[in-house]
A and B are shown apart, each in its own frame.
Chain A
Amino acid sequence: MKKAELPQDPGSLNKYTKEVCYVVDETGNYTTGLSSGWDIKISALDVTWSDIDNKTSDAMQKVKSGEVSPLFYYMQLRVMDLEIMAAYTGFWQWQIKRHFKPSVFKNLSDKKLQKYASLFEISLEELKSFNQ
């Protein structure tokens, strides 16, 4: 990539920092340049987030219709998966899957729920009263 062609398309990173890119100058020598972004990769991130947002609102619908517990919604919201949830809470993945069942979820002890609440950075009450 030539230095003069380094794209400067502002994306979400732009407010925080410019990024270093390696480019070739007029004499063919490598140098670095600062870029505020490239629309091609900005749209790659955009479609990724719109997919995450869709999955999160799907999860919300499933919680409302009583298919899954709020834990499933928060997993999507926090861009987690079973492996990450298990690593943070100390539960096994199969336990977490069970906790996704509304019937199991409503009987969970405060102690267990607190682990999830801390992970999702919400209060115990918020988690318990989510679907009421």
Chain B
Amino acid sequence: MKIDFKHVQSAHCENGVTTNLLRHNGLVQMTEPLAFGIGSGIFYIYIPFLKINGGPAIAFRSMPGKIFKQTCNSLGIDIIRKTFSSKEKAGQFLDDCLKADQPAGCQVGVYYLPYFPKEYRFHFNAHNLVVFGKEDGKYLISDPVMETPTDLTEYELERVRFAKGPLAPKGQIYFPKEKKTVSAEQLKIAIQKGIKGSVRDMLYIPGNIAGVKGIKYTGQKIKKWRDKLGVHKAGLYLAQLVRMQEEIGTGGGGFRFIYGAFLQQAHQYVLNDELLEISQKFTTSGDMWRNAAIQAAAIYRGRATEQADFNNMGDRLFEISELEKAAFKDLSKIKWQ
């Protein structure tokens, strides 16, 4: 049993699953940048009291699950989303979907994913993939970050669907409820909604640890890391920042390049040239994040370990914070015809 499902590789897993599932269900205009932008995927947060693998908890994107949910919501597409307490029922439900010709999005943990390199297998439970068939007892898997489709045995798939720990997937399965097309006008409204949501998240979220204020806050913290943590541990913290920013799934530059691409594509539906100018600001921001990563690498490789080097790193984040603040302010001022 194999559903005719088109695997298109994407930068980020949830974008890719959302895009590929929606396209399969008739929404041919959907692209990864559109899904990311309509789903208000762009974000920044540094949670100082939380540790991930002993390092700082930093994210350049919104909460897992939001992109699929909000993209479908804004386009008026009903979704099915289920979690399970029983592994048998989760397996049965998946098989029923496949029999009904419905490819299914699944949330999984990456630690036990056999087709990932060992170096990438941390206990991270918010990865996403699509199951689109079952042949010879193996599930056919479209993992959007991989170049080609792959497969998993029943045991392997069950194991990653029931990975435990933070963000445990609990067998979560999701897909659009029905086949649907949407008009250019609907897309336009959804784009506006997505942008407004991101403006709110990045400029007006309360507190100082998230949004553009969170970027500045991280810069302030980094300047203190050398004294507080010592050069070695501070270096590890910076390496974690760089991984969250640049690793597979981000499209480079902490998702800022995908957002730049989104604003360019949005221009096809919202004919306002300001979108193109603001897109360039996000390109600049992504480039500045990457230059900051080069500075961070000089620190964690042990080539630049003075306080001045940490100050340099912190100042870079201040600049990025200012630039993104200006870019989101510009977005908030756009006149939607």
Contacts and interface: CB of A to CB of B under 8 A. Distances in A.
B243 A45 contact: yes
A79 B239 contact: no
Chain B interface size band reads 35 or more
B164 interface: yes
B129 interface: no
B117 A79 contact: no
Contact of A22 (B9, B122, B243, B258): B258
Contacts of A45: 119-120, 239, 243, 247
B263 to A, nearest CB: 9
A27 B87 CA distance: 51
B293 A40 contact: yes
A35 B147 CA distance: 11
A48 B297 contact: no
Contacts of A87: 164-165, 168
A40 B145 CA distance: 20
B91 interface: no
A77 interface: no
Interface in B18-65: 33, 53-55
Contact of B239 (A15, A32, A38, A47): A47
Contacts of A51: 54, 236
A47 B243 CA distance: 11
Interface string A37-49: 0101101110111
A13 B283 CA distance: 25
B120 to A, nearest CB: 7
Nearest to B143: A17
Contacts, number: 123
Contacts of A23: 252, 257
Given A41-B293, A45-B119, A49-B119, A22 B236 contact: no
B47 to A, nearest CB: 15
A1 B252 contact: yes
Contacts of B286: 1
A88 B300 contact: no
Interface residues of A, number: 35
B122 A41 contact: no
Interface in A25-64: 28-30, 32, 34-35, 38, 40-41, 43-45, 47-49, 51
A80 interface: yes
B240 A48 contact: yes
A18 interface: yes
A110 interface: no
B23 to A, nearest CB: 16
Contacts of B53: 48, 79
Contacts of B145: 17, 19-20
A40 B242 contact: yes
B44 to A, nearest CB: 18
A22 B260 contact: yes
Q: Which of A13, A41, A51 has the most CB of B within 10 A?
A: A41
B11 A79 contact: no
Given A12-B119, A40-B242, A45-B243, A22 B164 contact: no
B248 interface: yes
20 contacts: A1-B286, A13-B248, A15-B117, A17-B147, A19-B145, A20-B10, A21-B257, A22-B11, A22-B33, A22-B251, A22-B252, A22-B261, A28-B280, A30-B257, A35-B252, A41-B246, A44-B246, A45-B247, A47-B236, A84-B164
Interface of A: 1, 12-13, 15-24, 28-30, 32, 34-35, 38, 40-41, 43-45, 47-49, 51, 79-80, 83-84, 87-88
Top 6 nearest A-B pairs (CB, nearest first) are A87-B164, A30-B261, A22-B257, A44-B239, A84-B165, A44-B242
Given A22-B33, A44-B246, A47-B301, 14 more contacts: A1-B253, A13-B120, A16-B115, A19-B248, A20-B9, A20-B10, A21-B252, A22-B257, A22-B261, A47-B235, A79-B53, A84-B123, A87-B164, A88-B165
Interface of B: 9-11, 33, 53-55, 111, 115-123, 145-147, 164-166, 168, 235-236, 238-240, 242-243, 246-248, 251-253, 257-258, 260-261, 264-265, 279-280, 283, 286-287, 290, 293-294, 296-297, 300-301
